[in-house]
Amino acid sequence: PYKFIPHCLLGEIYNDVEQIHDSVNSYRAALNSLMALSPLETNRYALYLMLVYNNLGLSYINRDENDQGLGCIVKAEQAY
């Protein structure tokens, strides 16, 4: 149930080496894993949720998908 943790780490690694497509895929996988958790557990891991939305948003923006990117950044802010 905690598959989101390695996906977050992989997303960061891919982002660091400018593999944006792979970064987006990893962050999407992390988000899907987080959304599969119960609401109580999702709240417990809110920091990961913010990290995923923020970094997913930045990855989208780096791919010139600004609308999706800004949407994710807004969700990160709301989670905060």
Amino acid at 75: K
How many other C-beta atoms lie within 10 A of the C-beta of residue 62? 14
- Name the amino acid, one letter, at 5: I
Q: What is the pLDDT of residue 10?
A: 94
pLDDT score at 33: 93
Q: List average pLDDT for each run of 10 residues in the chain, which is 80 residues long.
A: 89 91 94 90 88 92 92 90
Task: Look at residue 40 in the predicted model and tell me its pLDDT.
Answer: 86
Here the tokens at position 46 are 């809110």
pLDDT at 46: 87
CA 68 to chain centre: 12
Q: Which of 7, 64, 10 is nearest to 31 (CA)?
A: 7
Q: Which pLDDT score is estimated for 53?
A: 95
